[in-house]
Amino acid sequence: MARILIIEDELKIARFLELELRHEGYEVLLAGEGRLGLEKALNEKVDLVILDIMLPGLNGIEVCRRIRLESQIPIIMLTAKDDVSDKVAGLDTGADDYMTKPFAIEELLARIRVALNRKKNAKEPKLENLVIGNLRLNTASRSAYYNDEELTLTKKEYELLEYMIRNKNIVLSREQLLNHVWDYEYFGDTNVVDVYIRYLRQKIDEKYNIHLISTVRGVGYIIKDKS
């Protein structure tokens, strides 16, 4: 059963949540302030964190931000006030969901189930087709087809193409492409991006006489959804 960490300084709420969650069969850990909560979140193998925003020590936004530096565990934020800026700040720092106190326990339990399911599903890569015009990518087999003809792409060419199609209609800078597709292999050397863009254009644009990849002068490259 999932292990849930509650980071909440209001004892009454913390105890109430603990009782309800145990009743549902979850294993529960408690932390009454931010620093201790952060430590437990990172070291105690928890599956989900319920995180209050107003906390002594380290506030919830900061705890969330620091958890995200190291871990993708689902985080559901709690706050006493219906404050939109808190909500935005929480989601910006990487919280998965957000609830305003007072809340119905059934709703929190439902959101916990959703977050845990999402986590489980994220572990299994889904069979997915990315389509743009006549071009289709099968992300499970990491292959690309144009009108059902398979393209012969190298690993990096495929990764560059998939990343650009996932981010279609967005201008991507050479630095962004380098960081996402090459990690640190070519640190700072963005020429490698231009080289691979040229390979892709030879294998797709020129071969099929289409205009898939556009250059945005001074910025980078873009793949647009064909209108």
Smallest separation, CB 116 to Ca ion (Å): 24
**C-alpha distances out from residue 194 to 105, 216, 218, Å:** 53, 12, 13
Select 12 or 217, whichever has its Cβ closest to Ca ion. 12
For position 36 contacting Ca ion by CB under 5 A, the verdict is no
For position 86 contacting Ca ion by CB under 5 A, the verdict is no
224 is written with which tokens?
A: 């647009």
Select 54 or 132, whichever has its Cβ closest to Ca ion. 54
Smallest separation, CB 31 to Ca ion (Å): 12
Select 4 or 144, whichever has its Cβ closest to Ca ion. 4
Among 29, 54, 91, 105, binds Ca ion (CB under 5 A): 54
DSSP state at residue 26: -
Smallest separation, CB 52 to Ca ion (Å): 4
Select 52 or 86, whichever has its Cβ closest to Ca ion. 52
Smallest separation, CB 106 to Ca ion (Å): 22
The DSSP annotation for 124-188 comes to SPPP-EEEETTEEEETTTTEEEETTEEP---HHHHHHHHHHHHTTTS-EEHHHHHHHHHTTTTTT
48 is written with which tokens?
A: 């989900």
Question: Per CB under 5 A, which of residues 3..22 are in contact with Ca ion?
Answer: 9
Among 47, 52, 86, 96, binds Ca ion (CB under 5 A): 52
> String of b and e for 4-13 (b: at least 16 CB within 10 Å)?
bbbbbbbeeb
Question: Per CB under 5 A, which of residues 65..84 are in contact with Ca ion?
Answer: none
For position 99 contacting Ca ion by CB under 5 A, the verdict is no
How many residues form the binding site for Ca ion (CB under 5 A)?
Answer: 3
Residues found near Ca ion in the complex (CB under 5 A): 9, 52, 54
